[in-house]
Amino acid sequence: MFASLLSDLPYLEYLISSPFWLALTAFQIWMFIHAIRQGEYIWAAFIFLGWGFSAFLYYFMVYRQTGAATRGFELPGAQHRRRIKELQAQIHHLDKAHHHSQLGDVYFSQGKLVKAEASYRAAMERDPVDIDTRAHLGQCLLRQKRAAEARPLLEGVVQQDPKHDYGHSMMALAETLGALGETDRALPYWRQVTENHSYPRARVQLAELLISRNEPEPARVALREVIEDDPHAPAFQRKRDRVWVSRARRLLRKIGA
């Protein structure tokens, strides 16, 4: 047995020094850690036992889908995944509307929109007038491409409080109107948001709308602001907004900087 190990040493040394092997090992560890953090323990076991192939399978079937629908979007105050168990315990014992709503926020931040919708609807059954729940359910429906259902919720929220969620609800309403083809109605909402906030999400979508209306110059201004502000933003904000910054760069190249 010892002699067999000695005979395999050159091969092991080759694997350890191989860039491909090192990259595969790093990828394997990355997917394993992600599976643990997401609570995908069965997948984690498969990744640990099935070297290489299982990690790639997890990447395409789970990792790429996690948060895909909400990438570049966020709800202010959305909490970490470990909060789920605490909220589930509180719901079990107290069954309060705000616990269901907060659980919906966690699921939304993870891109688990079906679970988020169920939690928001459970919250509305207990408190149908809560403005946060109505707004976040509207956003959840919008991300599921159900703009017609999202519209009355978001319109009601913006009518009640135009500044709700620091302008995020108004942005969602503008996106909803755009998804329904009502771009003329969406435009004043985009203008109002960008006048009061510097969100790349709003500036880029306003620029896209202006370009579609053959107004390239104000679109350039909005896009340049996104790119110029990006290096000065906090790291967490740059990570959240990078999808919009990349989109701004592509649009500028398209219309000519």
Provide the whole-model pTM: 0.70
Query: Does pLDDT of 163 surpass 50?
Result: yes
d(CA 176, CA 208): 15
What pLDDT does 65 receive? Answer: 55
In the chain the first and final C-alpha atoms are separated, in Å, by: 68
Q: How sure is the predictor about 130, in pLDDT bands with cuts at 50, 70 and 90?
A: very high
Residue 77 has pLDDT above 60, yes or no: no
**Banded model confidence at residue 49, pLDDT cuts 50, 70, 90:** confident
